[in-house]
Structure 1
């Protein structure tokens, strides 16, 4: 796992072979946005310690959606350090193991990518302590606004920190090679609409579930990519 500084003293990306998570710091309090794959807890704890911080400072784990490369280590981290686990109410039953993971509607070119993604260990059933809804404000990052962002999954969310101009998009938007609509969507048309809603937030930093964060000309790039996705339907 690689640890990448995005905003000094505030935000780091934890990059796994497939997917990534983000660590936000408010003084002594830590928030994890997504949690990597099952078995990744030790690497996440090591990354926290390498920053001169302690895993017990982890207050909450916010899951952007129910897929295995984002949920996998959340349960182990929460059990060991007492962090609260939060997810949208529509994906929470999947994360808990009460409902199956929804199958995406794949385009032909997505099929080999999807098969590769399934090599990530399956996430164990994971507790969700708090179910989120659109517009809720969480106590980190100067007030973190939950943005319901359906399309990738029914309960996907974005996490917007208006005070810092930061947006975590989950897999609604991808930044692999270029900024584009995320892949493996359960409802592509809805995902395109969501892309436009997230771009309209006009962040200065966009943190994707896959691909490097966007920190330069972010608003313009997001708007152009959302327009292109809407025009092409892809």
Structure 2
């Protein structure tokens, strides 16, 4: 796992598949996504390295229901008084009450799908609580005077969201946007609604964030 500081209050945890982001401030910690099942111990080590305890995690902001993003949400939710946040359309899937929409794979995506899933352990994702269901425009208080705006970006899943921190200029795109190994910023892959994802990509591209944090691929520093 790679640990990279992107901002004085923001750390990226780079896993073999996907990323987890940790925002830390005087009022506690916020996780954006939780990685695949079993990622809890690695997250806890980073938390401890920053001088916190796992009980200092106050909230988990999930960008969507996929196992490499919500896989450890149930575990983290059990660490203490943790509020799990997700879009109202993906919340039933995260809770285990509904099945998620499958991706519509283009021909070129099928080999990539197999390669990505070969890197992921065949572990069931335990149902996790969702304490707050959000929709487009909802605001979340991260503490210390920092707020996050939820942006509905349907397409990758029906309830995919991005989170924008206007103050520090940070954007978490989930899997609506990705960054290829050569640095190219691209529409994310494995989408339930490819056309919807493309429209959501265009929405996020107009924000011009100072730090853009993708679900997959290296973050982009500087206006997007």
Fold agreement, TM-score > 0.5: yes
Secondary structure of 2:92's counterpart equals helix
* Residue in 1 that maps onto 2:214: 208
Provide the secondary structure at the position in 2 that maps to 1:81. Answer: coil
Equivalent residue runs for 1:150-229 within 5 Å: 150-177=154-181, 178-216=184-222, 218-219=223-224
Find the residue that maps to 1:21 and give its secondary structure.
Answer: strand
Q: CA RMSD in A?
A: 1.2
Query: Which is helix-richer, 1 or 2?
Result: 1
Q: Is the 8 A contact 2:77 2:128 kept in 1?
A: no
Are residues 214 and 171 of structure 1, via their aligned partners in 2, closer, same or farther at CA, if it must alter by over 3 Å?
same
Query: Where is the strand percentage greater, Structure 1 or Structure 2?
Result: 2
Residue 104 (str. 1) matches residue 103 (str. 2): yes
SS of aligned partner of 1:110: helix
**Secondary structure at the counterpart of residue 86 of structure 1:** strand
| 4+ residue runs over 6 A deviation | none
Q: Deviations over 1:97-148 (max 9, x none)?
A: 1111211000111112212333423321111111111100000162100000
Structure 1: unaligned runs, 5 residues or longer: 220-234
TM-score calculated relative to the size of structure 1: 0.89
- Partner Cα separation in structure 2 for residue 80 and residue 87 of structure 1: 18
Map 1:13-52 to 2 at 5 A: 13-52=12-51
Greater mean deviation of Cα atoms: 50-59 or 11-20:
50-59
Match of 1:73 in 2: 72
Given the alignment of the two structures, is residue 2 of structure 1 paired with residue 8 of structure 2, yes or no?
A: no
What is the aligned length? 217
**How far is 1:29 from its partner?**
1.1
